[in-house]
Amino acid sequence: MTSKKLYVVLISLHGLIRGKNIELGRDADTGGQITYVVELAKELAKHDQVERVELLTRQLIDPKVSSDYAQPIELLNEKARIVRLPCGPKRYLRKEVLWPYLEDFIDQALQHFHHMRCIPNVIHGHYADAGYIGSMLASLLEVPFIFTGHSLGRVKRQRLLEKGLTDTQIKERYNIGYRIEAEERALSAASLVITSTSQEVKQQYALYERYNPQLMHVLPPGVDITRFYSTPDFDLDQFPIYPQLSRFLKEPNKPILLALSRADERKNIPGLIHAYGQHPELKHKANLVIVAGNRDNLATMDNSSRKVLKSMLYAIDKHDLYGKVAYPKHHQSSDVPDLYRMAALSGGVFINPALTEPFGLTLLEAAATGLPFVATQDGGPVDIVKNCQNGLLIDPLNYAEMGEAIYHAISDPHRWQEWANNGLLGIKQYYTWQSHVNRYIDLIQNAMIKIQPDYPYHLRGRGMEVPFSRKLAVTDRVIITDIDNTLIGDEKALNEFLDYLEQKREKVTFGIATGRSLESAMRVLEPWGIPVDIFITSVGTEIHYSPKMILDEGWRSHINFRWNAAKIKAALMDFEGIELQPPENQREFKVSYYVTRPGLRRRDVIRYLRQRQFSVNVSLSQGVHLDILPLRASKGLAVRYLAFRWGLPLNQFIVAGDSGNDEEMLKGNTLAIVVGNYSPELEKLRGRHQVYFAKNHYAKGILEGIFHFSFLDSITEENDDAQ
């Protein structure tokens, strides 16, 4: 194990993230995951093996949310901080619509690490969106990547289908395809997958093509026992939130059945109300308190939360539960431990009726305050009951069973006290932050040992050193274009472009990014006398520098991660509908086939290889050319690699392309030009502020885009001391 002090980066993109007074339940995206990542950052920073912890999230500049979320930096303690990076629109967005902007975040994070002059030892992505971001960053920086899904898209899709939604409805409402593909990508790149329960490993992750239980470790979440603790002697009316609850209740001193979650359909709050309302003895014996986030006006809530709140009110009205159910509009973060304590002092229970519960953090908080629980028989609660023996598990869709279990839980004082004591002991034995962090550090140090880079150009606080072209060391702007149907296709336009480029050559680096091999690219460009400084060839698997065509060995080593061309060829021998191309079309990091089966989808090949534990990228061009590439290789990743290696901001790059193979390169913080003769698959990029759709075709379109962005009008004039 290494003794090096660790720089750990956590990424959690969606929801409202701040260090104090977390607005749990404000919307469907601000839930237990937020609490976990903030507490993990704080607790990791206390470990003596950790030098720095950063939690990267999205910067929000929106009058509808607190100005706290606009602050670029928020200190959590001496060694931990939240770093907020711009990503897409400034306003707050729900997670389902963040997918088009993830490349923006990747590029902002690369710039952040460059300004820090240091890169992390490990990157940990939380949920699918940050899983995608983290996997890309870790691949570019050659550090271990940890993934925690929290909840998984394939599981959610199953549940939604069971509820009667169609595939089309699920895709339109939840963008579930993006989410599942991001999770598959994260699992392909992960050195380590951290889960909170064994059920996640055995049942939920097993639904994925890149399922590898050997990489998965169950690490139960910690609970802050300095906030969540029991108070055996205290009157209910002394708690600050008591007046907000008592105004709903005719007999406020009855046992409290507490439910605490965000207003999310998956949390099944209306189901709990039905279970309570259908059980006459339970209604008589106890009050139901539901804390479902904060709200000012139902009409201004997001559609999902508003739907849940309306269902709650309908259920309360249906069972005539006025005076028996409290559902306060507001609560503070400081009220949450008090709510558990109030329920415990009253002899009540905590209830988690969620349809799925991967985590169960609220159950741990309840147990730490001496409050038994009744919870769904899914995910986290199963392990917690096994370890703590402090409650009952129920089928969340069986309302009669749920009501009877809750009544049973509060009807025997002796058993209730035994459960309360067991919970307090179990938390200290299994779920403290100290034990969580100690195990976490052991796991990431082992992962670091397995992924040490094998070449000498790795940044560790002193800048990259790449012994290639002196041109890049003094360049101010970089132009990268595709060749076919972008740069070439109109001789007159190409000559105009080359004449203009010649005027700016001293501080401009010009490169091409193509699916062609180096030899093929040079052959097609040679008649035109095009001065190319950088060749990104073979679908992004090779980078060469002019004039001597020096191979970037760093990139070569970088993309070698989990690559085995011979085994891929062997695995695809039995795959119908493809034919291996001749040897001259094969490269060290590209296995190429002709497609012989009409209608073959890229997705079919990816699924086949992932199920056989291959971590790869797959490119299908024009329905007939199939290329299998390393996971870390693509034209877009090669451009980002160049930017980071040479310390150039991505907004000093302009890229141009015409087809779907260029899409990844055109997204993110680079300025991007889509030439006028583009393929329809790029239409999805229209409207992005850094993507310009030119009216002119071929090289004329490139020139039009350069003028649109005024890209070469303000080239920095510097004294070149190195000359």
- Write out pLDDT tens, residues 208-259: 998 999 999 998 888 888 889 998 888 888 999 999 999 999 999 999 999 9
CA 355/CA 377 separation, integer angstroms: 9
- C-alpha distances out from residue 456 to 462, 465, 555, 641, 716, Å: 13, 9, 12, 15, 31
**Do 236-430 and 470-559+633-708 have matching folds?**
yes
Beta bridge partners of 375: 352, 393
- Cα–Cα–Cα angle for 116, 147, 556, nearest 5°? 65
The pLDDT value recorded for residue 714 is: 63
pLDDT digits (tens, 9 = 90+) for 367-397: 999 999 999 998 789 989 999 999 999 999 9
pLDDT for the residue 719: 37
If residue 204 lies in a helix (H) or strand (E), which one and from where to where?
Answer: none
Report the C-alpha gap between 658 and 662 in whole angstroms.
Answer: 7
Residue with tokens 């000559």: 495
The residues spanned by each domain of the chain are: 6-221+434-450, 236-430, 470-559+633-708, 565-630
| Fold annotation for 565-630 | Hypothetical Protein Ta0175; Chain: A, domain 2 (3.90.1070)
Fill in the amino acid letter for 626: L
Backbone angles phi, psi at 636, to 5 degrees: -65, -45
CATH label, 6-221+434-450, candidates 3.40.50.1110, 3.40.50.2000, 3.40.630.30, 1.10.730.10:
3.40.50.2000
Which tokens go with 551? 């191979």
DSSP-H helix ranges across 431-527: 433-450, 470-474, 491-503, 518-525
- Say which CATH topology domain 470-559+633-708 has: Rossmann fold (3.40.50)
* CATH code of the region 236-430: 3.40.50.2000
pLDDT computed for residue 453 by the predictor:
46
Q: Could you write out the three-class secondary structure of 549-571? A: CEECHHHHHHHCCCCCHHHHHHH
Strands (DSSP E) contained in 108-166 are 122-126, 145-148
DSSP 643: H
Q: What is the DSSP letter of 722?
A: T
pLDDT at 440: 94
Residues in the chain: 723
**For the chain, which ranges sit under pLDDT 70?**
1-3, 451-474, 714-723
| Residue environment code for 6-43, b if the CB has 16+ CB neighbours within 10 A, otherwise e | bbbbbbbbbbbbbbeebbbbbbbbbbbbbbbbbbbbbb
Q: How many Cα atoms within 13 Å fall on the side-chain side of residue 456?
A: 3
Do residues 410 and 343 touch, judged by C-beta distance below 8 A?
Answer: no
Overall pTM > 0.75 = no
